[in-house]
Structure 1
Amino acid sequence: MPETRPPVPPFTAETAAQKVQGAEDAWNTRDPQKVALAYTPDSVWRNRDEFLTGREAIVEFLTRKWERELDYALRKSLWSFTDDRIAVRFQYEWHDADDQWWRSFGNELWEFTPEGLMARREASINDVPIAEADRRIFGARPVEDRGVEIDLR
């Protein structure tokens, strides 16, 4: 029997929002093995200028990412959806080994299998240096802030 990762397509506004929040929650664990389980074994990614295929490559990529992007904390917002696709805007903050803080802004396009696993992910991301005093994302999103839109800047 194939793996299933609810909610599954066809998406509604409610289930698409659940899928986005679930992804945010998983990525905020910074656990590459856990995050990779949301993707098909042969999932295809474009992340900035990197192209990946498969869970093993995803785990390797995320391991490198979170070794470099320290104290990573993420927010995602549902932008739009169809039966089996979701568009997301996101922001995350992190600092590098020199303690320079960054806010990374981006958009993702997701495509899902009938079992709710992500078969394709395309991410476009820009980084802006920020002062530590300008941070606004601290760890996982509190339950009371779920569904709250993230600022544009």
Structure 2
Amino acid sequence: MSEARPPFPPFTAETAAQKVQGAEDAWNTRDPQKVSLAYTPDSVWRNRDQFLSGRAEIVDFLTKKWERELDYALRKSLWSFSEDRIAVRFQYEWHDTTGQWWRSYGNELWEFTGDGLMSRREASINDVTIAEADRRIFGPRPTGDRGQDIDLR
């Protein structure tokens, strides 16, 4: 069974945007196993101050993440792309077990293999406390909102 994940490099503006939306959709499922299949078996990550290697570590990381970051909802936005690389900015909202809501802001750098799997992911993320009334991300992005940029604040 092929693990190829279209669209494939070299990216165009259209295919890079498709890749970003596909990643957003997958992460919003909060299914670590499903998400991990977009990465090469030996994919390397830097996520904040953590370094991961391989799908098993990715699944473990995401499982723990979504046990801690409750009602997680994400938006990604294409920032830039080249032949086999994509840069995105993102925001996601979640609450902790005490009910405190957070908005997490970040940037990611992605590198892909020829079969469309991500071989490298570097993420820098900052968290800001928000009131529940200040939330603006509610579940997966509605189809009509796809392609819309996300506000800086």
Q: TM-score, normalised by structure 1?
A: 0.99
Q: CA deviation at 1:147?
A: 0.5
SS at match of 2:21: helix
| Mapping of residues 17-96 of structure 1, within 5 Å | 17-96=17-96
1:3 deviates by: 2.0
Q: Which amino acid aligns with 1:113?
A: T
Alignment-derived partner of residue 104 in structure 2: 104
Runs in 1 of length 4+ with deviation above 4 angstroms? none
Separation in 2, partners of 1:121, 1:2: 22
**Deviation at 1:37?**
0.2
The one-letter amino acid of 1:21's match is Q
Which structure 1 residue ranges, 5 or more long, are not aligned? none
Supply the AA of the counterpart residue of 2:5: R
SS class of match (1:128)? strand
Tell me the SS of whatever aligns to 2:116.
Answer: coil
Structure 2: state its 5+ residue gaps: none
* Alpha-carbon distance in 1 for matches of 2:134, 2:15: 33
2:68 & 2:5 partners in 1: Cα distance?
Answer: 29
Question: Does the 8 A contact of 1:20 with 1:76 survive in 2?
Answer: yes
Inter-partner Cα distance in structure 1 for 2:149 and 2:4: 29
Q: CA RMSD in A?
A: 0.7
Secondary structure in 1 matching 2:144? helix
What is the deviation of 1:93? 0.0
Counterpart of 2:86 in 1: which secondary structure? strand
Q: Which one-letter code corresponds to 1:17 in the other structure?
A: A
1:2/1:115 contact within 8 Å kept: no
* Letter in structure 2 aligned against 1:118: M
Identity of aligned residues (%): 84
Compute the displacement of 1:110 (Å): 0.0
State how far apart, in whole Å, the 1-side matches of 2:35 and 2:151 are.
25
Matched to 1:150, the amino acid is I
Q: Separation in 2 of the partners of 1:46 and 1:122? A: 5
Determine the C-alpha separation between the residues in 1 that align with 2:8 and 2:107.
21
Check if 1:134 corresponds to 2:112. Answer: no
Paired letter, 1:105:
Y
Distance in 2 between residues matched to 1:7 and 1:53, nearest whole Å: 23
